[in-house]
Structure 1
Amino acid sequence: MFHKIRKFGLKTAGLVTAAAVLWGCTEVGGGSQGPRVNTSKPVVVGVLVPSGSGNQQQEALAGSLVAAAKLAVAEMGDVQIDLRVYPTAGNANQAAAAAQRAASEGAKILVGPLFAQAANAAGTAVASQGINVLSFSNNPDIAGGNVFILGDTFANTADRVVGYAARKGQRSVAALVRADAAGDVAAAAVQSAARNNGAEFVGVAKYELTSDSAIAAVSATKSLIERTGATALVLDADAAGALPVFAQMLPEKGVTSASTQFIGLTRWDQTAPAVRSSAGLQGSLFALNDTSATSSFNQRYAAANGTNPHLLAGKAYDAMRAVGTLLQSGSSDALTRKKLTRNAGFQGANGIFRLRPEGTNQRALAVATFQEGNVVVLDPAPRSFGGAGF
């Protein structure tokens, strides 16, 4: 979405989603609890965004991220925050330099950057100073030490939708995922979600980013289901790529959501009307953010900026909301790992969320389905942690 998208070889090209382009492979380690702050004076917060490369999409995204961060600060008027923006050009080396500059200018915490390698580099650059990084990445490989990820994760989504399906009696789960690093993480997330929710993970079928491979995966998936008796099939495909193909061809092979519950790991609600009206997707399950919270955020953002937010802008709002909420306590240890990972979490742009000790995040999600092409919420997003849906 932000870098060149590989073509899928079908009319529905561009299988890489907003989530997938954020992936990297390295891991950051170390990192202390966090610096002390003086909340009686403005606390410097460095916001690292992917501007400065000349890429128009990245520039627009960067602007929306900054606007969302500023909105969060404005809505918490009793908090003294000195928000400073640092461009990274979406580049790891520049992200490291930006992080070091922010630290030298007094930043007590960093918000961003976006791409995994840039976030990893930024975290490494300031780890020795005990500065925590709330990155916009969704790659769990970089989470840990002083780096947190705010992006939506397969693990969080899988746990919600597989857990819901398991409670409805679907206790034999298979997966159909891409044959790449992101697909491996998706499959691992489904396996973990099945185990955590009293279901059995019975196997996985994979497909390459080609039309021939996707077609072959349909037959492989049918064989997997017949061999294992799987009652649920979790797909990582999205509407911009292989989902329309699978939605058509799996039912043609006799695999339907009526007999084997289809479950999506991506935002199937964002599909084109023709796709979500397809017979193969009716009755499928997928996750949504808290729709009322998202609608409210979009309206407030539009009122403040005269335009709609980027799909990822809410992550910057969430980061600043967490920072502001903790600084409201007046405590000198407000930005330490212990406080960042408080169990109560925070109110974000798309509902409640919390940061986990291992550096990942947990978000409140609703479970929805398609009925005659319409998105219907079956189980609303929780409004607090500890109840149903977590």
Structure 2
Amino acid sequence: MRAVSSRVRRPRRLHGRRSFLGLSAAFALSACMPSGFGALGPGVDTSRPVVVALLVPGATATPGDEVLSSNLENAARMAVADLSGVQIDLRVYTTQGDPATAAQVARQAVDDGAQIILGPVRSAEANAAGAAVAGAGINVLSFSNNPAIAGNNVFVLGLTPDNAARRMFEYAARNNRGNVMVLGEQTPAGALVLDAVNRGLAGSGATVVATQTYEFSQQGIVNALPEIANAARSSGAQSILFTADSAGALPVLAQLLPDNRIGYPQFQFMGITQWNVPPATLQLRGLQDGWFAMPDPALTSQFVARYTATYGSEPHPIAALAYDGIAAIGALLGTGRTDALSRASLTQASGFVGVNGVFRLMPDGTNQRALAVATIRNNEVVILEPAPRSFAGPAT
């Protein structure tokens, strides 16, 4: 077995103001707590520092993992520094990108006194860490966006495809574009995303009139184009929902579909991934006037600016999840309740506010995030409908 690398690091000094909109709002939202807390979760003494373990991928051969790890830690420490009246003892452990090591350091973290775990990033590691500490009643807030690993004591903080799909379906239905054709890739991951999209359809008011898939290659997309075009025209589709992202098939589809007379305004293109990442995606001709879901841009920009001013470089795109996780933990600890880190506390209907906007954790381990609907005009992002700043009603 690999040697376990665990490091307990002292907080770095932060420069600038210690107040932050996201965290103060998180405390405000969490003020009304539900009754009848569940048993899963440790009893905590909020008069003393509460140990929180942060699991990061460091010490791997994967390019960028060291930067990702340091960015996650930086964002978490920024959030800890913003807390008022709450004490968190943040301890950092590296998983080395290995599920067995993730399980080992998760158990070590609990032995060291951790009462909740934040991370890891990847699905297999998060699943292993959760299983390793389930018997101790410790909850895991992973940075994954894979709903397949959610459940029991594992929660996912990442933006899940069903969450983004629900937002797009609802918006399309309200804007006379509710007959939707869905495009997905013929891979195991693609099948999981299509399943998630179908979950997001429920109760949205939209209708999926066709689903088309393509082999995950440029030639595969070319081969599938005639069938995709015929299905779009014959199904009565008003919109086409892409499941692909900018690193995958999206740029090819955005070019080839309009070249085959499948494009705006006859068909409204929609996406469940963030088309503004990387910024070069905004230059794609076929995505002009398309719709996509994104976290609250005002809060996100505020976080990016503050992080950059503090650490000298822009944060990794998922670093904000570490801040969100600490924001949620801090908000719950701020209630002073001994069951603040129980499952029922984590899944309170009012949710939390982090640097990506409002979010809430669901009893099944997934999450709901309030998202904005954006479009691209003249290669720039334009917000069509802002992200809600609170949740109305029970979680669905």
Q: TM-score, normalised by structure 2?
A: 0.87
What whole-Å deviation, never above 9, does each CA across 1:15-37 have from its counterpart, x for those lacking one?
xxxxxxxxxxxxxxxx9611100
User: Which range moved further: 48-57 or 325-334?
Assistant: 48-57
Change (3 A) 1:329 1:244: same
Corresponding residue to 1:167 among 166, 174, 178: 174
The residue that corresponds to 2:41 in the other structure is 34
The residue that corresponds to 2:72 in the other structure is 65
SS in 1 for 2:375: strand
1:208 is aligned with what amino acid? Answer: E
User: How many residues get paired?
Assistant: 357
Q: Matches of residues 103-252 of structure 1 in structure 2 within 5 Å?
A: 103-252=110-259
Corresponding residue to 2:299 among 293, 298, 304: 293
Between the aligned partners of 1:370 and 1:135, the Cα distance in structure 2 is: 31
User: What is the CA distance between 1:124 and its match in structure 2?
Assistant: 0.3
Between the aligned partners of 1:260 and 1:71, the Cα distance in structure 2 is: 44
Corresponding residue to 2:90 among 58, 62, 83: 83
User: What is the CA distance between 1:277 and its match in structure 2?
Assistant: 3.7
Change (3 A) 1:54 1:184: closer
Identity of paired residues, percent?
46
Compute the RMSD of aligned alpha carbons.
1.7
Between the aligned partners of 1:280 and 1:351, the Cα distance in structure 2 is: 29
User: What is the CA distance between 1:54 and its match in structure 2?
Assistant: 4.7
Q: Structure 1: where are the runs of 5+ without partners? A: 1-30
User: What is the CA distance between 1:45 and its match in structure 2?
Assistant: 0.7
Change (3 A) 1:298 1:286: same
SS in 1 for 2:276: helix
SS in 2 for 1:268: coil
Is the Cα–Cα contact under 8 Å of residues 318 and 348 in structure 1 kept in the other structure? Answer: yes
Is the Cα–Cα contact under 8 Å of residues 293 and 350 in structure 1 kept in the other structure? Answer: yes
Between the aligned partners of 1:259 and 1:210, the Cα distance in structure 2 is: 26
Structure 1 residue ranges, 4+ long, deviating more than 6 angstroms after superposition: none
The residue that corresponds to 2:338 in the other structure is 332
Between the aligned partners of 1:303 and 1:386, the Cα distance in structure 2 is: 35
What whole-Å deviation, never above 9, does each CA across 1:185-214 have from its counterpart, x for those lacking one?
322233333332122212211122211101
User: What is the CA distance between 1:367 and its match in structure 2?
Assistant: 0.4
Between the aligned partners of 1:63 and 1:267, the Cα distance in structure 2 is: 23
Is the Cα–Cα contact under 8 Å of residues 218 and 246 in structure 1 kept in the other structure? Answer: no
User: Which range moved further: 254-263 or 113-122?
Assistant: 254-263
Q: TM-score, normalised by structure 1?
A: 0.88
Between the aligned partners of 2:305 and 2:148, the Cα distance in structure 1 is: 34
SS in 1 for 2:64: helix
Is the Cα–Cα contact under 8 Å of residues 52 and 115 in structure 2 kept in the other structure? Answer: yes
The residue that corresponds to 2:25 in the other structure is none
SS in 1 for 2:205: coil
Change (3 A) 1:222 1:54: closer
Q: Structure 2: where are the runs of 5+ without partners? A: 1-37
Is the Cα–Cα contact under 8 Å of residues 195 and 201 in structure 1 kept in the other structure? Answer: no
